[in-house]
Amino acid sequence: MQPPHREPTDVAAVIDKILSEHRISVKATIAMLRQRTGTERSDADLEGLIIKKAAVRGISIIHDRDDAGST
């Protein structure tokens, strides 16, 4: 039996650091987070965590829209 996967870096702490340094979009925050931590969490999971952390800190974030071609 394999032990559960453990990430080497505290992803939530890195999100706090990114949010305090930058005013960027969710998509850009996810990209930075992956670069800094190497996390393999899904984009949806990271987006939820980013939104929660920003809300707790009272930080407004830019929500990306993938439907740029829609009217």
Question: By C-alpha distance, which of 54, 46, 44, 48 is closest to 16?
Answer: 54
Distance CA 1, CA 42 (A): 24
Q: Tens digit of pLDDT for each residue in 1-54? A: 655 656 667 888 888 888 888 777 899 999 999 999 999 999 999 999 999 998
Look up the pTM and report it. 0.69
Could you write out the DSSP letters of every residue in 48-66? Answer: HHHHHHHHHHT---BPP-S
The span from the CA of 29 to the CA of 27, in Å, is 5
Amino acid at 69: G
pLDDT of residue 5: 59
- Whole-number pLDDT of residue 68: 45
